[in-house]
Amino acid sequence: MRRSQVTTVSLLAALALGACTNAKDVLEPSAITPPASSVQSSAAPQATSTTATSATTTAPAPSPAPATTASAKPATPAQTAALARTRLQVAPIVGASVDAAAPLTAELQTRAKQRGLTLVGSTDQTATHVLKGYFSTMSEGKDTTVIYVWDIYDPSGNRLHRINGQQKAPSVGSGEGWPTVAPATMQAIADQTIDQFAAWLGSGGAG
């Protein structure tokens, strides 16, 4: 009878040890790490340009870091020289509504002029760079975040650089998505885009 009790205690101890081992496996970080969000991972954009589409278009591979709204730094001599010889063509915006794209493109022109950068039309054959933008929105409560990606190409269609970021701002009006995005939000994105493009050129991006 005593031997049977000893055997039972041994079995219970073995079961308890096994339970502890299983619990440790479950609590390993690799076992509880959630899968990557499908919202943040999407295919890279194709080289073809299209006209503005609905608000459901998802920007490719957005950066999780929010874009800053700091004022532009004074141009360095390298930036000034690079900007002077650059002729930038802006392709039709993908993903943003027409109403949202209007203040964006207008501010791109204004900021480019301030920077000494020449923008050319879609039929101009002298363009040295082509800028293609992809946009989407994400609504959270009363805030709307605009996610954007800009790809910079050479005239032959080779991608040279990517600019991406997010701009969060309180929504205006009712509903969600593009109707709630204020013009000032798109203007801020335009300013940041030209400033980052200028910085890239100054660092040797002009080739």
Cα–Cα distances in angstroms (integers) from residue 116 to residues 31, 83, 159, 166, in the given order: 53, 6, 23, 26
Question: Residues 203, 72, 113, 179: what is their CA dihedral angle, to the nearest 10 degrees?
Answer: 110
Q: Looking at residue 83, what is its pLDDT?
A: 87
* Cα–Cα dist 117/51, whole Å: 24
pLDDT in tens, 173-193: 777 899 999 999 999 999 999
**Which whole-number Å values give the CA distances from 26 to 20, 29, 32, 100, in the listed order?**
10, 8, 7, 47
Mean pLDDT on 158-167? 96
Q: Residue 101 — pLDDT band, cuts 50, 70, 90?
A: very high
User: What pLDDT does 14 receive?
Assistant: 43
H helix or E strand, kind and range, residue 164: strand 159-170
Instruction: Note the pLDDT tens digit of each residue in 24-45.
Output: 333 333 333 333 333 333 334 4
Return the SS3 of 129: strand
Do β-strands 143-153 and 159-170 pair in parallel, antiparallel, or remain unpaired? antiparallel
pLDDT digits 0-9 by tens, 129-150: 999 999 999 988 888 999 999 9
